Structure 1
Amino acid sequence: MPKVSIPEDNSRKIASKSHNSYVLEGIDSHQSTQVAPSGLLQPFSEELEEQLFSQFKLVKEQLKSYLGEPFYADAGFILYEGDLTKFLDRLYHSNLKIGLTITSPPYNIGKEYEQPMSVNEYIDWCASWMNQIHKVTEPNGAFWLNIGYLEVPDKGLCIPIPYLLWDKSPFYLLQEVVWKYGAGVSTKYRLSPRNEKWLFYVKNSQEYTFNLDDIRDPNVKYPNQKKNGKYRCNPLGKNPSDVWDFPKVTTGKKRSSKERTDHPAQFPLGVVERVVKVSSNATDVVLDPFAGSCSTGIASVGLGRIFLGFEIRRDYCEIAVERFKRFMKQKQEFFEQKELF
Structure 2
Amino acid sequence: MKVALKEDKSRRIADRQHNVHVASGIDPHSATAIAPPSMLSAFSVELTNRIANLHSRTETILTEAIGKPYFCETGFFLYKGDSVELLSALGENNFEVDLTLTSPPYNIGKAYEQEMTVEEYIAWCQTWMNQIYAVTKPAGAFWLNVGYFEVPGKGLCVPIAYLLWDKSQFYMLQEIVWKYGAGVSARSRLSPRNEKWLFFVKDQSNYTFNLDDIRDPNVKYPNQKKNGKYRCNPLGKNPSDVWEFPKVTTGSKRSSRERTGHPAQFPLGVVERVILASSNQAQVVFDPFAGSFSAGIAAYGLGRVAVGFEKDEEYCRLAVQRFKNFKEERKMAQSQLTLL
Measure the CA separation in 1 of the matches of 2:235 and 2:9: 47
Matched residue, 1:304: 303
Q: Tell me which moved more, 148-157 or 49-58.
A: 49-58
Measure the CA separation in 2 of the matches of 1:52 and 1:98: 14
What SS class does the counterpart of residue 27 from structure 1 fall into? Answer: coil
Given that 2:99 and 2:142 are in contact with CA atoms closer than 8 Å, whether structure 1 keeps it comes out as: yes
Given that 1:33 and 1:247 are in contact with CA atoms closer than 8 Å, whether structure 2 keeps it comes out as: no
Q: Which runs of 5+ in 1 are unaligned?
A: none
Measure the CA separation in 1 of the matches of 2:200 and 2:299: 18
Matched residue, 1:39: 38
Matched residue, 1:63: 62
The sequence identity of aligned pairs, in percent, is 62
* Pairing of 1:14-29 with structure 2 (within 5 A): 14-29=13-28
Give the aligned residue type for 1:291. A
Give the aligned residue type for 2:98. G
Aligned-pair RMSD on alpha carbons? 1.0
In the TM superposition, residue 18 of structure 1 has moved relative to its aligned partner by 3.0
In the TM superposition, residue 7 of structure 1 has moved relative to its aligned partner by 1.8
* Pairing of 1:66-215 with structure 2 (within 5 A): 66-215=65-214
* Pairing of 1:257-296 with structure 2 (within 5 A): 257-296=256-295
Q: Which runs of 5+ in 2 are unaligned?
A: none
Give the aligned residue type for 2:90. L
In the TM superposition, residue 4 of structure 1 has moved relative to its aligned partner by 2.1
In the TM superposition, residue 257 of structure 1 has moved relative to its aligned partner by 1.1
**Structure 1 pair 239–168 and aligned structure 2 pair: CA distance change class (3 A):** same
**Structure 1 pair 231–5 and aligned structure 2 pair: CA distance change class (3 A):** closer
In the TM superposition, residue 38 of structure 1 has moved relative to its aligned partner by 0.5
In the TM superposition, residue 32 of structure 1 has moved relative to its aligned partner by 3.7
Given that 2:214 and 2:273 are in contact with CA atoms closer than 8 Å, whether structure 1 keeps it comes out as: yes
Q: Tell me which moved more, 4-13 or 56-65.
A: 4-13
Measure the CA separation in 2 of the matches of 1:58 and 1:50: 13
Given that 1:209 and 1:278 are in contact with CA atoms closer than 8 Å, whether structure 2 keeps it comes out as: yes
Measure the CA separation in 1 of the matches of 2:330 and 2:252: 27
In the TM superposition, residue 244 of structure 1 has moved relative to its aligned partner by 0.6
In the TM superposition, residue 250 of structure 1 has moved relative to its aligned partner by 1.1
Given that 2:248 and 2:256 are in contact with CA atoms closer than 8 Å, whether structure 1 keeps it comes out as: yes
Matched residue, 2:233: 234
Measure the CA separation in 2 of the matches of 1:174 and 1:274: 16
Matched residue, 1:223: 222
Measure the CA separation in 2 of the matches of 1:236 and 1:251: 33
How many residues end up aligned between the 2 structures? 340
Give the aligned residue type for 1:263. H
Measure the CA separation in 2 of the matches of 1:275 and 1:337: 28
Could you give the per-residue CA deviations for residues 242-284 of structure 1, whole angstroms, max 9, x where no partner exists? 1111110012332321110000100100000010001001111
In the TM superposition, residue 52 of structure 1 has moved relative to its aligned partner by 0.8
What SS class does the counterpart of residue 325 from structure 1 fall into? Answer: helix
Matched residue, 2:10: 11
TM-score under structure 2 length normalisation:
0.98
* Pairing of 1:312-323 with structure 2 (within 5 A): 312-323=311-322
Moved beyond 3 Å, runs of 4+: none
